[in-house]
Amino acid sequence: METAPTQEQLLQKDKTSSDYYYNSYAHHGIHEEMLKDRVRTLSYQRAIMENKHLFEGKAVLDVGCGTGILSLFASKAGARIVYAVDSSDIIFQAKQIMIDNDHTEKIKCIQAKMEDVELPEKVDVIISEWMGYFLLYETMLPTVLLARDKWLKEGGVLLPDKASIYLAAIEDADYKDEKIKYWDNVYGFDFKCIKEIALREPLVDVVDARAVCSSPCKILTLDLNTCTKADLTFRSNYEIFGKRNDFVHGLLAWFDITFSAGTKQVYFSTAPQCKYTHWKQTVFYLKQPLTLSSADKISGWIDVKPNQKNERDLDITIHVDFEGKYQDIHDTHEFVLR
C-alpha cells in the first residue's frame, strides 16, 4: 500500500511549481471547511441518495474527489464502480478513508490530472463539486467538461448540471469605508496607491440580505450537458431596478446550482437571503456611490474572462450606466478576482 506523505513533506513542495495549486488542496483544513458546509454537502447527498436509480449498477466518475465524500455517497447509492480522481495528495487520505469504511472494492482512487487519466470504461454518471467563488474562480469546470466529452456515455448524467450567476446592487457604506476609505489616512499618511489596488479586488464575504437594494439580474446560465469552455468567457448585459431610496456602494454577485437529473431535483443558492455557504457572496465596490431612488435603473454590461497570467484567476470588467433622479454616472470598473 502507498504511504501517505506527511503534512511537512507536502508543505516542502516548491510553491512556484505548476502543481502548487493542486497541492494546496492536500491540506485537510480546506476539506474540513467544505465538508462542514451543510448546504453544499447535504445537497449532493440528497441529489445522489434520492436518485438511487441513476447509480444502481452504474459506473461513476468523481472529478476532483478530495476526501471522497461524493464517491462514498455514490457507492452507498448502489454504484457498481466509482473512479475517484484527484491530482492533489489528498488522494492518499481518500484511499485510507475507503479502507476504513470498507469501500475499497467499489471505489478506485486515482491520483492524476483528469487530462491524463485512462479509465477502463466510459461512465454512466459524472459527479463533481467544481464551483468556486463567483462560480468560476479557480473553477474545475473546464476539467469536468473535458471529462464529460471523453468519458461520459451518450445519455449519461452530470450532477450537478445547471448553474446561474446573479447580480444586484448593495448599500455597504460601513464596510467599504473599513476596506477602501481606510487607505486615505493611515496614521496620518496617504496610502491611496493601495486604495486603487483594493478597489480592483472583489471582496468575498457574507453580505446581509438587508443590504441588497435592487432587484437581481441573471447574468449567466450554464447547462453542463451542452456548454463548452468557451462559454466560461462571456459578456452579459444587465438591468437592475431600485427597491428603495438608498446609496449603492457596490454590486453583489452570487450563484445558484441545480441537480436536475433524476426524479428528485435538488437546488441550492448562495444568495445573501439563503443559508450560509463557504462560497459566501462576491462584492464589487464602485469608485463612487450612486444615489438610488426607488425604481431607478442601473444598467450596463459585465465582461468575464480568465486572467492571462493565471487562468484560474478572473478578469472582470463592469460597465455602469446610471441616469437616476439625482445623478448621472457612466463608468467602467476593472477587477481581478484572485
Query: Which whole number is the average pLDDT over 68-84?
Result: 98
Does residue 187 sit in the same domain as residue 121? no
Domain of 179, in residue numbers: 163-337
Instruction: Encode pLDDT of 277-289 as tens digits.
Output: 999 999 999 999 9
Does residue 124 sit in the same domain as residue 26? yes
292, 247 Cβ separation under 8 angstroms: yes
Does residue 196 sit in the same domain as residue 325? yes
Does residue 172 sit in the same domain as residue 302? yes
Mean pLDDT, the chain, as a whole number?
92
- Strand positions, DSSP E, the chain: 59-63, 81-86, 107-111, 123-128, 152-159, 162-170, 203-205, 217-223, 234-241, 246-259, 266-269, 281-292, 297-306, 314-323, 328-337
Query: Which whole number is the average pLDDT over 217-227?
Result: 98
Out of 91-95, 178-182, 200-204, 253-257, least confident range:
178-182
Number of domains into which the chain is organized: 2
Does residue 286 sit in the same domain as residue 330? yes
Query: Which whole number is the average pLDDT over 148-153?
Result: 98
Question: Strand 107-111 vs strand 152-159: parallel, antiparallel, or unpaired?
Answer: unpaired
- Specify if 48 maps to a domain: yes
Domain of 56, CATH number, reads 3.40.50.150
Cα(101)–Cα(300) distance, rounded to whole angstroms?
Answer: 52
Domain of 317, CATH number, reads 2.70.160.11
Q: Which amino acid is at 271?
A: A
Please check the confidence at residue 260 and state whether its pLDDT lies above 90: yes
**What's the chain's length in residues?**
338
Q: Residue 295's pLDDT is what?
A: 86
Cα(3)–Cα(232) distance, rounded to whole angstroms?
Answer: 38
- What the block records as the C-alpha cell of 5 is 506523505
Does residue 123 sit in the same domain as residue 172? no
- Specify if 320 maps to a domain: yes
Please check the confidence at residue 8 and state whether its pLDDT lies above 80: no
243, 169 Cβ separation under 8 angstroms: no
Query: Which whole number is the average pLDDT over 219-244?
Result: 98
Q: Residue 159's pLDDT is what?
A: 98
- Specify if 155 maps to a domain: no
93, 6 Cβ separation under 8 angstroms: no
Residues with a known catalytic role: 129, 138
- Specify if 147 maps to a domain: no
Percent of the chain with pLDDT over 70: 92
pTM equals 0.91
Percent of the chain with pLDDT over 90: 88
Instruction: Encode pLDDT of 91-137 as tens digits.
Output: 999 999 999 999 999 999 999 999 999 999 999 999 999 999 999 99
Does residue 170 sit in the same domain as residue 300? yes
Q: Residue 26's pLDDT is what?
A: 53
- Specify if 144 maps to a domain: no
Question: Strand 281-292 vs strand 246-259: parallel, antiparallel, or unpaired?
Answer: antiparallel
Instruction: Encode pLDDT of 234-250 as tens digits.
Output: 999 999 999 999 999 99
- Specify if 140 maps to a domain: no
119, 83 Cβ separation under 8 angstroms: yes
Does residue 106 sit in the same domain as residue 229? no
